[in-house]
Amino acid sequence: MTPERWAFLGRYAKELFEDDELDGITERARAAGLPQIAVSADVGRLLQILTLLTPGRLALELGTLAGYSGSWIARGLMPGGRLITIEYDPRHADFAEGEFARNGLDDRVEVVRGAALDVLPDLAQRLGPESVDLVFLDAVKTEYIAYLELSKPLLAHGGVLVADNVYATGQGWIDEGYGTDEFNRRVAADPDFDTTITPMREGLLIARKR
Ligand SMILES: C[S@@+](CC[C@H](N)C(=O)[O-])C[C@H]1O[C@@H](n2cnc3c(N)ncnc32)[C@H](O)[C@@H]1O
């Protein structure tokens, strides 16, 4: 594997899984000046498939941004299923709500505004234990352990936990002291989860709750 081949394969996967509707979100988000830090199309597709492999009744996302990954997850929900996605930045939340409406997903997606650690306790009360089929962590990387503690009881048995950027954050890679080493070790050692990490983008952790 060379850096050139890695870059080519990234472009190749993007081309394979491009989707006009979802690419439109990326283009409008770029034009609106939102940060370009959404998941890639192949990761989005994986989120959809993982959601489809669960009963798809309820999904929870931390870190909405423009609604790109949320739209992939929403596509994997069963009819009548719901996605709740938490976003701290009101500009991102407004933008994402517009995109969910534009793409006809607003009937199944709720954007909850606020910092994940502030809103999760009340949300947990509202949703109840073992009610969520898929949790996607993509907000503040240094808070992943706290997210795990709050979201694990919400996950149904057979539910899936996904976390992005587990090998690197924007600042650097895990061997340079970045990424989510303690979180990764904690999930990997947790007997309640069957866990792996794929090297897609900057590392995507996937864990199924037993
Ligand atoms: C990497 S982006 C999410 C990308 C999105 N999941 C996607 O792939 O389309 C992280 C998002 O988390 C939001 N965020 C930052 N701090 C947060 C917090 N404490 N709680 C919830 N969201 C937060 C940021 O404003 C940003 O929109």
Which H, E and C letters describe 158-183, residue by residue?
EEEEEEECCCEECCEEHHHCCCCHHH
The residue whose CB lies within 8 Å of the most ligand 1 atoms, and thus the one to mutate among 61, 89, 171, is 89
Which structural domain range is residue 35 located in?
A: 3-209
Name residues whose C-beta falls within 8 Å of residue 180's C-beta, 6 or more positions apart in sequence. Answer: 141, 144, 163, 165, 166, 174
Query: From the CB of residue 17, how many other CB atoms can be counted at a distance below 10 Å?
Result: 17
CATH code assigned at 175: 3.40.50.150
Give residue for tokens 């979201």: 151
What is residue 96's predicted lDDT score, i.e. its pLDDT?
Answer: 98
- Cβ-contact 136, 159 below 8 angstroms: no
Smallest CA-to-CA distance from 163 within 194, 117, 206, 119 is with 206
| pLDDT score at 1 | 81
Mutation to probe ligand 1, out of 65, 94, 103, 202 (largest number of atoms < 8 A from CB):
65
Cα separation of 205 and 16, whole Å? Answer: 22
Tens-digit pLDDT string for the chain (210 aa): 898 998 898 888 888 888 888 989 999 999 999 999 999 888 999 999 999 999 999 999 999 999 999 999 999 999 999 999 999 999 999 999 999 999 999 999 999 999 999 999 999 999 999 999 999 999 999 999 999 999 999 999 999 999 999 999 888 899 998 889 999 999 999 999 999 999 888 999 999 999
Q: How many domains does the chain have?
A: 1
Q: How far is the CA of 162 from the centre of ligand 1 (A)?
A: 14
> What pLDDT score does 75 carry?
95
Read off φ and ψ for residue 114, nearest 5 degrees.
135, 175
Alpha-carbon gap, residue 17 to 72, rounded angstroms: 11
C-alpha radius of gyration, the chain, whole number: 16
Residue 15 confidence (pLDDT): 85
Which residues in the chain belong to E strands, given as ranges?
58-62, 82-87, 109-113, 132-137, 155-164, 168-169, 172-173, 193-198, 204-209
Lining residues, ligand 1, CB within 6 Å: 37-39, 62-65, 68-69, 86-89, 92, 115-116, 138-140
| Ligand 1: nearest atom to the Cα of 86 | 21
pTM, 2 dp:
0.96
Residues whose CB falls within 8 Å of the CB of residue 119, separated by 6 or more in sequence, listed in order:
86, 112, 113
Q: Tell me, what's the pLDDT at 9?
A: 87
Tokens representing 191 are 């007997």
Amino acid at 132: V
CA quadruple 14, 33, 109, 141: dihedral sign: positive
